[in-house]
Amino acid sequence: GCVHGSHDGPGNIILNTNISLKEGQNTISLLSVMVGSPDSGAHMERRSFGIRKVSIQQGQQPLHLLNNELWGYQVGLYGEGKRIYTQEESSSVEWTEINSLTYHPLTWYKTTFAAPVGNDAVALNLTSMGKGEVWVNGESIGRYWVSFKAPSGQPSQSLYHIPQHFLKPTDNLLVLVEEIGGNPLEITVNTVSITTVCGSVNELSSPALHTQGKDPEVRLRCQRGKHISAIEFASYGNPAGDCTTFSTGSCHAALSESVVKQACIGKRGCSIPVSPARFGGDPCPGIQKSLLVVANCR
């Protein structure tokens, strides 16, 4: 069995589960994973982390405390220490072909894949998995926890980005350690193409630190290999909505679209200062203004 704590939950979490014992000596193995624990501050010596107590109860008999039994201790997993997620060391252990899936916890999985053609961002879709860590060609792309659901009932994250410089054209090594249980046969390698970029900045916003101008700017940038091909919407004034639903408001500079097109069309990225001078003067004095731009990339 397994149990997870949370930021808002109690300080101590308890796993209560039924177990089957054999006659004679029995072995208990516990894996403790701690994320987000403070590593500094006052009175650290008074803080306790990890496993505090282990006990067994048979029927109505009193609890049998196991804290004083002989325990072994190891930091990290054997596979981590052996670096079996690398090309060089993955052959040092025996791998078994997947014939039938029973969603085993604490299982290492390995496969290879070819990199998708093109410059689009590459991501692993891990919706079918539970919780663990992923390596691509020996590089960790981070931990995943898709079995943790958002209030909508969907995973809080299911796509995990693979940096392009981690990839080779073919024979990319993918290794996972799955803690809870999942179906690795349903993992897919996806490409993510950003076809729309958007920016909205108020005239009272502070200018970016890396710019030399005094005015705030709307900055747009397409992903590598693409350029801004069209301006879907542009309004300097008091536009309504956001990057998905938008319309001009009661205040709108007539030069908005032409100014943005001149600055952005054909380029991978552009920046447009949010100031009346840029748009032929103040279209409505006394009204706080902003610039909303929605552009297409191809």
- Three-state DSSP at 45 gives helix
What pLDDT shows up at residue 47? 77
Q: What is the pLDDT of residue 3?
A: 81
Give residue 224's pLDDT band: very low, low, confident or very high (50, 70, 90). Answer: confident
pLDDT tens for each residue of 137-191: 999 999 999 998 888 999 989 999 999 999 999 999 999 999 989 999 999 999 9
Residue with tokens 């076809």: 195
287/279 Cα distance (integer angstroms):
15
Per CATH, the number for 196-297 is: 2.60.120.740
78-192 and 196-297, same CATH topology = yes
Express each pLDDT in 112-147 by its tens digit: 999 999 888 999 999 999 999 999 999 999 999 999
Distance of CA 200 to the CA centre of its chain: 24
Alpha-carbon span 252 to 260, nearest angstrom = 14
Interval 251-270: pLDDT, tens: 999 999 999 999 999 999 99
103 pLDDT higher than 90: no
CA 263 and chain centroid, separation: 33
pLDDT at 102: 66
Check residue 32 and give its pLDDT. Answer: 85
Looking at residue 36, what is its pLDDT? 66
Q: How confident is the model at residue 95 (pLDDT cuts 50, 70, 90)?
A: very high
Q: What is the pLDDT of residue 198?
A: 97
Q: Is the pLDDT of residue 204 over 80?
A: yes
Residue 101 has pLDDT above 70, yes or no: no
- Tell me 108's DSSP state: E
**Parallel, antiparallel or unpaired: strands 290-297 and 196-202:** antiparallel
Mean per-residue pLDDT of the chain:
91
Q: Region 195-218: what's the mean pLDDT?
A: 86
**pLDDT category, 59, cuts 50, 70, 90?**
confident
Domain ranges of the chain: 78-192, 196-297
Q: In whole angstroms, what separates CA 1 from the centre of its chain?
A: 26
Q: Identify the pLDDT of residue 43.
A: 85
Radius of gyration, CA atoms only, the chain: 28
The DSSP string of 232-249 is: EEEEEE--EE-SSSEE--
DSSP state letters, 126-168: -TT--EEEEEETTEEEEEEETTSBPTTSSBS--EEEE-GGG--
Q: Looking at domain 78-192, what is its CATH homologous superfamily?
A: Galactose-binding domain-like (2.60.120.260)
* pLDDT for res 99: 77
